[in-house]
A and B are shown apart, each in its own frame.
Chain A
Amino acid sequence: MNTPVTRRAAIAGMGALAACSPRTAPGPQRQVTLRMSWWGGASAHKATLEALRLFMQRYPHIEVRGEYTGFAGHLERLTTQIAGHTAPDLMQINWYWQVLFSRDGKGFYDLNALSKEIDFSQYDARTLGMGERNGHRNALSVGNAARLFYFNRTTYDKARLALPDSWESLLAAGPKMRDALGDAYYPIDGTFQDFIALARSRIVQKTGKALVDDINKRLNCTPQDIAEMARLYAGLTRNHSLPAARVRAAFGNVAQQEMRPWINGQFAGCYLWNSSIDKFTDTLRPGEHVELASYPLIPGASDAGLLYRPAMMFAINRQTSHPQETALLLNFLMNDPVGIRAMGLSRGVPSSAIARRTLTEDGMMTGLKLDSEAELAKLPITVLESPWFEHPRVRDGFQDILEMQGYGVIDEQTASQRLYDDINAILARVIR
């Protein structure tokens, strides 16, 4: 069924059928070819190709050509295409690429003009808002993601410990695990970037405000609040709860999920995007089992401090000559049961309500995916963090200071002071 000849025959056959089907719009239909680009792994490619095949069956007058790659180089390629006015009609983008390609909101097709084709009622206002700039609807979230705590249940069971569900129990797990299993075992592991996100969550739980104030171009907290970041790092590493910088460096510059202690369960936890947890569980040694923990909250916290945002989005080329057809494709992939089933969970848990309902009814939402969604639905998420928090310069600023603290170049006090002064200076410089 997959060979080109039979597919063409099938499409021709479907065309004859579709001519009398009530689903397709009446009137003469000209043959249209669309281009769609995405990046992804093996299962995303397979699922999307299958979805495109089904779409072409449904709309025989539209041919869709998939242009897909791995993640490496995809941004460079898309940048060249957009600069050269040869971008595909439908493209998968990252949330923050909107700032790169559409600072004023006019860089992508305004989806508001296509509300006849795209069912926006399937998305909540917060999700839709994250694809809007200056009143233009630039992109639609495929799936939302947030960082959650995942722990290696096998290791915790071996140490006879419950999974940490509060900040205190996370700190306390360090010495207990070391005593039970030895020096090589840590309750949680993470890169500096993971730790910064983790500390931000705790600070936001305290302040109840976004960490970055992009109007005044500075941190939205007191020096005491941000000092919590340095204190938490010192506390976690001193307590043997988080491997210190030196310990991690001994394993080389390897992706976290490909580090030996993670694979064999010695680093027994991570603070990770729920959209990428599969990548971490896949590399585990057979027999190791990862579970979601309930998110730690400071008593009385009004917000969990989660950075909850689209993991990836779809946008339509501003210069497309077939906006209606492209919108049909977008809607098919995200809001049509046939498309939804074909796409499955290959791009994480979808943000479209009907997609989530369909996949739940089909029994697709299981295990960590289901748990993560349930946990996210339970947590208070109101604070909207400024995208500038994820700006590379800001991120590097945080990382530089914490690295120096981690390697013992500066002490906790100096680190606290510099977190406040340096980050404010960086924010004042980069926010435009």
Chain B
Amino acid sequence: MSTASVHGWRRHLPLINAFIRYGLLIGIGFLMLYPLFWMIGGAFKNNHEIFASPGFIPAHPTTDGFTKGWKTSTEYTFATYLLNTMKIVIPKVILTVISSVIVAYGFARFAIPGRKLLFALLMATVLLPKSVLLIPQYLMFREFGWLDTYLPLYIPQAFAVEGFFVFLIIQFMRSLPVDMEEAAVMDGCNSFQVLTLIVCPVILPAIISVALFQFMWSMNDFLQPLIYLSSVEKYPVALALKMSIDVTEATSWNEILAMSVIALAPSLILFFVAQKYFVEGVTSGAVKG
């Protein structure tokens, strides 16, 4: 073997390296995303082809699923349900962010008597299964006269009920030096101004993570709207998608897949827009611990 050829081979090493790495990443990425591709492909198939072939490219593409699915089997079109979902999700996300940030700030920066106990209690609620609270909460909201309204779905979020989000923000705040806040106090800020003017811009990645998580979870939430909403005109997407899955009738999976694709779009778009902050927000709390 001549030195020139070794040299030539070595010269391509970074390229080969990149080729292998990216090949592997693309291959595994494709495997991971296959169900998603299959769903999109399935939306364009007719119903019996969905079960008959595992491939995702439809043999006879049709947009039937979209046109019929959009009309739905109810009195309303799918647009109503998308709009309803937004009516629930947007206030829910806003209230969650505001309340979680305030509570986390309190836990992270103030020496409240019994802070450890309170924090332990907050963490305990994370472990509490949601279904345990279902009937007591239902009775409470019935007394308030809130049944069949969206209020039970988002008003609780104004009280930082999601311990996980509070925890996430606290971890993020702990990794920040307090110097800037102390300087702000010296300059005459009260504690609320410190939070809004100094802390919030710094913890923006964590806030975006919380908002994204809450957005996606609320989009998918099935049980709460199912229990609290009885009028069909108020159903969100999660309920609407399951409206026509029954035990005695064949399900038009292509319509359901088509509507799932549409329902997935807001989450996907939001995720890609906020991706940069999102990844930072989830991981940076973990580094310092």
Contacts and interface: CB of A to CB of B under 8 A. Distances in A.
A275 B52 CA distance: 24
B74 A45 contact: yes
Nearest to A73: B226
A71 B245 contact: yes
B248 A279 contact: yes
A380 interface: no
Given A76-B226, A264-B52, A67 B232 contact: yes
Contacts of B249: 40-44, 278-279, 282
Nearest to A275: B248
Most buried by A among B242, B244, B247: B247
Given A264-B52, A283-B47, A84 B75 contact: no
A190 interface: no
Contacts of A73: 222-223, 226, 242
A72 to B, nearest CB: 5
Contacts of A347: 248
Interface string A56-89: 0000000001111111110011001101111010
B251 to A, nearest CB: 7
A97 B138 CA distance: 21
A427 interface: no
A30 B206 CA distance: 57
Interface stretch (A129-137, A255-263, A315-323): A255-263
Given A70-B244, A80-B135, A285-B52, A278 B250 contact: yes
A80 B243 contact: no
Most buried by A among B243, B244, B246: B246
Interface in A12-47: 35, 37, 39-46
B245 A70 contact: yes
Nearest to B139: A84
B43 to A, nearest CB: 17
Given A72-B245, A279-B248, A77 B226 contact: yes
A252 B287 CA distance: 41
A184 B223 CA distance: 41
A86 B147 contact: yes
B73 A41 contact: yes
Looking at chain A, what size class is its interface with the partner chain? 35 or more
Contacts of A2: 75
B48 A69 contact: no
B246 A39 contact: yes
Interface string A300-326: 000000000001000000000000000
Secondary structure of the B contact surface, majority rule: loop
Contacts of A80: 134-135, 138, 227
Interface residues of B, number: 32
Contacts of A254: 51
B239 interface: yes
A49 interface: yes
Interface string A249-288: 0000010011110011000000000011011101111100
Given A264-B52, A279-B249, A283-B250, A69 B147 contact: no
A41 B230 contact: no
A339 interface: no
A344 interface: no
Contacts of A83: 135, 138-139
B248 A311 contact: yes
Contact of B243 (A43, A68, A278): A68
Contacts of A311: 248
A248 B73 CA distance: 33
Interface string B236-258: 00010011111111111000000
A406 interface: no
Contact of B51 (A39, A260, A276): A260
B142 interface: yes
B3 interface: no
B231 interface: yes
Nearest to B46: A286
A348 interface: yes
A278 B138 contact: no
A70 B135 CA distance: 21
Interface in B71-91: 73-75
Contacts of A44: 246, 248-249
Interface string B104-143: 0000000000000000000000000000001100110010
Interface in A307-366: 311, 347-348
Contacts of B142: 84-86
Contacts of A282: 47, 249-250
Contact of A45 (B47, B223, B242, B243): B243
A257 B139 contact: no
Contacts of B248: 40-41, 44, 275-276, 278-279, 311, 347-348
B230 A35 contact: yes
Contacts of B135: 80, 83-84
Interface string B191-235: 000000000000000000000000000000011001100111000
A270 B111 CA distance: 69
Given A68-B232, A76-B223, A285-B52, A279 B245 contact: no
A80 B135 CA distance: 6
Interface string B139-171: 100100001000000000000000000000000
Contact of A41 (B227, B232, B251): B251
Contacts of B251: 41
Contact of A88 (B75, B227, B230, B244): B230
Most buried by B among A43, A70, A72, A86: A70
B138 A84 contact: yes
**Lowest 6 A-B CB distances belong to which pairs?**
A41-B249, A282-B250, A42-B73, A41-B246, A70-B242, A42-B244
17 contacts: A2-B75, A35-B230, A41-B248, A42-B252, A49-B74, A67-B231, A71-B246, A72-B245, A73-B242, A76-B227, A77-B227, A84-B139, A84-B142, A259-B51, A275-B248, A278-B248, A286-B48
Interface of B: 47-48, 51-52, 73-75, 134-135, 138-139, 142, 147, 222-223, 226-227, 230-232, 239, 242-252
Given A41-B250, A84-B138, A86-B147, 13 more contacts: A37-B230, A41-B73, A41-B251, A44-B246, A67-B231, A69-B226, A69-B242, A70-B243, A72-B245, A77-B226, A80-B138, A257-B250, A282-B249
